[in-house]
Chain A
């Protein structure tokens, strides 16, 4: 058994959340509401000490970088979002921030489109017949899945068959994702069980 009071607190909250499996109850609600409050408080402190203090307050106070007052004011304007009358002022800083998505257009095109098409074309087609067939599967499969998500032509004839093949590949891929997800969820439970058994009760090493 642990002698650290914080471990006992952690164990209490772990069990409180687990109690939800039995049914919704006040203990679970308590833990859930505590979590919301604490995580938002946590966010405030991290934001203050890691971002606003070193990037805004200190440069202005200590180094006299007064031009930073402008983004400081813009950051403050964000908070007008809640005003019924002049909520539109918060559009200004928001408009500035979302403008950066202009950089995303070429980035996305190069990273997720051109590089991916290039890699598909460059798929090595060497080795035995099986390696070559597998390589071809990537090329034909990518095309087939793209055809599946192409909506300007009815799925008839060759196009229909290709799309059908694409949908089979999609199912295989989704199956893999499904299996991985099962694994992930069980890992999360293992993490909590390990905490209860080892850190709290000390029954396993």
Chain B
């Protein structure tokens, strides 16, 4: 009896580094196994895909807000790339915005990388506007004319010399607005943009903040939601199935994601069982 007790104590107080090694391996090993993961898209991700196709049909550009910094890069960059690949493959023009100073270069890089894959030209097929503080005011002014807040693009060119922008003024000229962020910015887009100018709005968020956005989906203030790396994988899956484009980092991570979740669930279950067995033993011995 006592022995068993000791053993339980040992397990319950196991060195945290053992746990660390297990979770690390569960994420690393699947990369070498190359399993095929099949993912069903959720309805809110499919809604984004359909809306993008609609943009291609109406031949209108879209706005993507790249509002993430390196801390959420792993979750949001695959999503940004999947969306850009879809847009560029369907010849949709993209205007990039940024309100998170620490992520400015990331957004510029991501846009350039994907544009290169599809032979798209800066200034004609996509433009990136620079970082701006006071995002609420910038988003409000955008409804009238974005030139009120912006005088040049990220590369320092005057807006007048950029061919893509010549016919564009405000939200009306874009088919939809997508904001990719782990911060509160999607809510700001809804408050200062959607409430006043009623454009179609989609959020790509980190999984941490996902639950907060469902009321906006139900009320129609938001028409689609892509959540974290899994959401990116769903989108990549859709684009592959329908347009036969290669999948990206979102899909690549899904096998590791699977094992990570399973390990955590097992940890919670075993941890609780051990805890209760231990407690019962304590009560009995008393």
Contacts and interface: CB of A to CB of B under 8 A. Distances in A.
Interface of A: 21-22, 39, 42-43, 46-47, 49-51, 54-55, 58-59, 97, 100, 103-104, 107-108, 110-112, 115-116, 118-119, 123, 138, 173, 176-177, 180-184, 186-194, 197, 203-204
Q: Is the interface of A mostly helix, strand, loop or mixed?
A: helix
Contact of A119 (B71, B220, B257): B220
Contact of B156 (A49, A112, A180, A203): A49
A46 B101 contact: yes
26 contacts: A22-B17, A39-B102, A42-B101, A43-B101, A46-B104, A46-B131, A49-B156, A50-B154, A100-B136, A119-B219, A177-B211, A180-B208, A183-B257, A184-B228, A187-B228, A187-B229, A187-B230, A187-B257, A189-B23, A189-B24, A189-B27, A192-B74, A193-B24, A193-B27, A197-B28, A203-B32
Interface stretch (B44-52, B170-178, B187-195, B273-281): B187-195
B75 interface: yes
Contacts of B206: 184
B218 A190 contact: no
B247 interface: no
Contacts of B32: 203-204
B208 A194 contact: no
Contacts of B130: 49-51, 54
B102 A187 contact: no
B207 A181 contact: yes
Given A187-B257, A192-B74, 13 more contacts: A54-B156, A58-B151, A59-B151, A111-B194, A116-B219, A118-B219, A177-B208, A177-B210, A183-B261, A188-B72, A188-B74, A188-B75, A203-B32
Interface stretch (B3-11, B111-119, B248-256): B248-256
A205 B132 CA distance: 37
Contact of B215 (A108, A119, A181): A119
A184 B136 CA distance: 27
Given A49-B156, A115-B195, A190-B260, A180 B227 contact: yes
B73 interface: yes
> Do most interface residues of chain B lie in helix, strand or loop, or is the interface mixed?
helix
A78 B163 CA distance: 39
Contact of B195 (A110, A173, A183, A188): A110
Contacts, number: 141
Contact of B221 (A43, A104, A115, A186): A115
A54 B151 contact: yes
Contact of B228 (A43, A55, A104, A180): A180
A39 B102 CA distance: 7
B260 A189 contact: yes
A51 B104 contact: no
Contacts of A204: 31-32
Contacts of A55: 151
Interface string B204-242: 001110110001001111000001111000000000000
Given A47-B101, A51-B133, A186-B260, A191 B74 contact: yes
Which of A39, A47, A187 has the most chain B CB atoms closer than 10 A to its own CB?
Answer: A187
**Lowest 3 A-B CB distances belong to which pairs?**
A191-B74, A119-B219, A50-B130
B243 interface: no
A118 B17 CA distance: 51
Nearest to B150: A54
B128 to A, nearest CB: 11
A107 B191 contact: yes
Interface in B150-178: 151-152, 154, 156
A190 B17 CA distance: 18
A190 B32 CA distance: 13
Contacts of B74: 187-192, 194
B218 to A, nearest CB: 6
B264 interface: yes
Interface centre among B20, B208, B261 (most CB of A within 10 A): B208
A190 B253 contact: yes
A190 B251 CA distance: 11
Contacts of A177: 208, 210-211
A110 B193 CA distance: 12
B137 interface: yes
Contacts of B73: 191
Contacts of B151: 54-55, 58-59
A135 B17 CA distance: 47
